[in-house]
Amino acid sequence: MDDMPGIITENSALIPGYHRLTVRLERPLGKVSPGQFVMLKVPDPEVFLRRPFSIYDARDRTVTVMYRVVGKGTDALSRARKKAPVMVLGPLGRGFSIPPAGACLVIAGGIGYAGVRMLLKRLGKRAALFLGITGKTELPLLSDLKGVEVLTATLDGSHGYHGNVVSLLKERFAPHRSQGPTIFACGPKGMIISLKEFLEPDKVPCQVSIEERMACGLGLCFGCIAETKDDTNPFKRVCKEGPVFDLWDLSL
Amino acid sequence: MGPLAVDILGKTLKNPVMNASGTLGYGIEIEPLWNIDILGAYVTKGLSEKPHHGNKTPRVWEERCGMINSIGLQNVGVEYFFSHYFPFFEEKKLPIIVNFFGFTEDEYVSCARKIPSHDLIVALEMNLSCPNIKKGGISFGKDAPAVHNIVRAVRDVTSVPLIAKLTPEVKNIVEIARAAHEGGADGLTLINTMPAAIIDTRTRSMPLKGGLSGPVLKPIALRAVYECYREIPIPIIGAGGIMDVEDALEFLMAGARAIEIGTATFVDPFTMPKVIAGLNSWLKENNYAGIPAITGIAHG
Ligand SMILES: Cc1cc2nc3c(=O)[nH]c(=O)nc-3n(C[C@H](O)[C@H](O)[C@H](O)COP(=O)(O)OP(=O)(O)OC[C@H]3O[C@@H](n4cnc5c(N)ncnc54)[C@H](O)[C@@H]3O)c2cc1C
Ligand SMILES: Cc1cc2nc3c(=O)[nH]c(=O)nc-3n(C[C@H](O)[C@H](O)[C@H](O)COP(=O)(O)O)c2cc1C
Ligand code: FES
């Protein structure tokens, strides 16, 4: 883990409102496990705190994140130009743990895809991605994902399954069940909750990456708490004990 | 001890730079980035007699020149801290200041009793911004007689030096500081966060009320330090919006014997090492023998 200066080499809109940002760092980020994140200092003096983003890709001295413009910080970031200097703190948090064998079903909702993209790369053919998006206009987000089976659910029915991604999973889950799959998920809270309801009867092993507002990303401020079922110490730091948790440990 | 050494409350610290309570976790979390024993002392996260779970999220929100937090004093409790985290500081021989709080006078007193006296414990830092649940939640630190009483009650049960950490949400901070001194405080930490709120226009709601920290506090904190230094004859630790060595120098010149850095660490986790190095170079470049030579120099 380190805090490193870097220079933006790519900050392009893949589709309106969704950007991919690549930073060339002074030194390599070091060993990254899928699901870990960075705290990025947005190059705009109006943005005070750093913002957390999942590591989308990391190789040699570059790190890539994919982000959706949702507010002040991401809006300022989307206007940063090539060659602008940024600070990148990471890799942070506890990522996914990949089982030695067995099928892996990866569920992503919207920009949650950014949080599992590195995992999908590591899993390769072992993985099937269940992706929930609003419509087919969001499909270009996947343009650089190869060699992974993708099942898509769109809310507007413009591509693949018409409905939400958990309903799609319900429909397609039967053949996977007997293989003792591991589920990985990243997406909005509503998606995680309905996923939990679906998996509850069999308590299928499931790791979820969750989000909370952060100030430090380092476990210093206790700002980013998630409630767990741990009796003695239920309030865990998403940035330190997470962002990936065992679904069955969380109190959702 | 080098040129940055400062004497405070009967101890000599290798430099005047500490973290502000609640902004450097339990101390161990920063180790992947830098060694905590570069600090003059580590200030603990606010500890209480019993563990506290703290508030629901959201707990943090950004402002243009700072942030608002509503952590709700989540902590493992004073006994757990001493059994599980204190050995780390013993191993490093790093002096610590134990920040603590309570929601009633009894809780302050029983918490203070549970803090052992130990060579490495420089002082207890009493967080007086806490709401008094027996007085409708108004904070202990807002009223001079209340401050006098609670400081005296704690003073009576501990022999460890006692620092009163004051809230800026008062009419006249010098009066409050005097009450703390007369109640038996050996030092002051100025200042804690300022009550503040956020309105979110997207959801048309107030998602968070809490304590404001960061650069927005600095001039308020500087004035508190400056005025208390003139009137109250006990050492002051300055805190509030220190982002770099220039800010740190301002506090020292206003009269602070040492300084605490909080929110800045979230923006740049290397702020404290940079300030320590910066103070060293500044003293050399300006031909001062040590920190004491500039303490309170702004008073002429
Ligand atoms: C571990 C982690 C990984 C993340 N990975 C990605 C990613 O790969 N791509 C991506 O687009 N987004 C990701 N996010 C979410 C991203 O951090 C927020 O969207 C971003 O911080 C919003 O900043 P803003 O200033 O634009 O929004 P604001 O104007 O501050 O707020 C807009 C919305 O974003 C939420 N938000 C604000 N600040 C944070 C924060 N610090 N953490 C979480 N949510 C916040 C608010 O609750 C609000 O709903 C991740 C969050 C976490 C915690
Ligand atoms: C996340 C956070 C947690 C804090 N927790 C405590 C605490 O437990 N006890 C306390 O006395 N002050 C606490 N404070 C106040 C700081 O110690 C400090 O007085 C204040 O933030 C001003 O300094 P700064 O602007 O450098 O952050 C906290 C501040 C923040 C931002
Ligand atoms: S963001 Fe500070 S503890 Fe997680």
* Position B110 confidence tier, pLDDT thresholds 50, 70, 90: very high
Whole-number pLDDT of residue B113: 96
Whole-number pLDDT of residue B136: 79
Q: Across the interface, do B267 and A240 touch by the CB < 8 Å criterion?
A: no
* Position B134 confidence tier, pLDDT thresholds 50, 70, 90: confident
Task: Kindly tell me if the per-residue pLDDT of A203 is higher than 90.
Answer: yes
CA distances B111 to A84, B101, B117, B124, B222, Å, are 50, 8, 13, 11, 30
Looking at CATH, the fold of the domain delimited by B6-299 is given as TIM Barrel (3.20.20)
CA distance A39 to B11: 37
**Nearest residue in A to B265, CA atom:** A216
Q: How far does residue B262's CA lie from ligand 1's centre (Å)?
A: 22
Task: Kindly tell me if the per-residue pLDDT of B132 is higher than 90.
Answer: no
**Nearest residue in B to A87, CA atom:** B268
CA distances B156 to A16, A106, B108, B150, B256, Å, are 65, 60, 12, 10, 26
Of B30, B45, B71, the CB nearest to A223: B71
**What is the residue extent of each domain of chain B?**
6-299
Query: What are A244's two structure tokens?
Result: 């990936």
**Mean pLDDT, range B5-22, rounded to an integer:** 98
| Alpha helices (H) along B40-115 | 78-80, 86-92, 105-113
CA distances A140 to A21, A127, A133, A162, B34, Å, are 15, 20, 11, 18, 41
Burial class of residue B141 in the structure, from the number of CB atoms within 10 Å of its CB (0-12 exposed, 13-18 middle, 19+ buried): buried
Burial class of residue A92 in the structure, from the number of CB atoms within 10 Å of its CB (0-12 exposed, 13-18 middle, 19+ buried): buried
* Position A232 confidence tier, pLDDT thresholds 50, 70, 90: confident
Query: What are B122's two structure tokens?
Result: 């420089």
* Position A252 confidence tier, pLDDT thresholds 50, 70, 90: confident
Cβ count within 10 A of residue A32: 20
> In sequence order, what are the beta bridge partners of A23?
A8, A63
CA distance B164 to B101: 11
> Does the C-beta of A211 come closer than 6 Å to ligand 1?
yes
Q: What's this model's pTM, rounded to 2 decimal places?
A: 0.96
Q: Widest CA span of chain A, in angstroms?
A: 54
Q: How far does residue B277's CA lie from ligand 3's centre (Å)?
A: 26
Q: Across the interface, do A221 and B266 touch by the CB < 8 Å criterion?
A: yes
**Mean pLDDT, range A81-110, rounded to an integer:** 96
Whole-number pLDDT of residue B238: 98
- pLDDT one-digit tens code per residue, B240-254: 999 999 999 999 999
Please report, in angstroms and rounded to a whole number, the separation of the first and last CA atoms in chain A. 30
B200 touches chain A (CB under 8 A): no
Whole-number pLDDT of residue B139: 86
Mean pLDDT of chain B: 96
**Mean pLDDT, range A126-154, rounded to an integer:** 94
CA distance B41 to B18: 5
Burial class of residue A214 in the structure, from the number of CB atoms within 10 Å of its CB (0-12 exposed, 13-18 middle, 19+ buried): buried
Tokens 């998920």, residue located: A185
* Position B130 confidence tier, pLDDT thresholds 50, 70, 90: confident
Question: Between residues 190 and 219 of chain A, which touch chain B (CB distance below 8 Å)?
Answer: 212-216, 218-219
CA distances B217 to B56, B126, B196, B213, B248, Å, are 25, 20, 12, 6, 13
Q: Are strands A2-15 and A182-186 parallel, antiparallel or unpaired?
A: unpaired
Rounded-to-10 torsion of CA A108, A112, A118, A121:
30
Q: Across the interface, do B267 and A41 touch by the CB < 8 Å criterion?
A: yes
* Domains defined along chain A, listed by start: 2-92 (2.40.30.10), 104-249 (3.40.50.80)
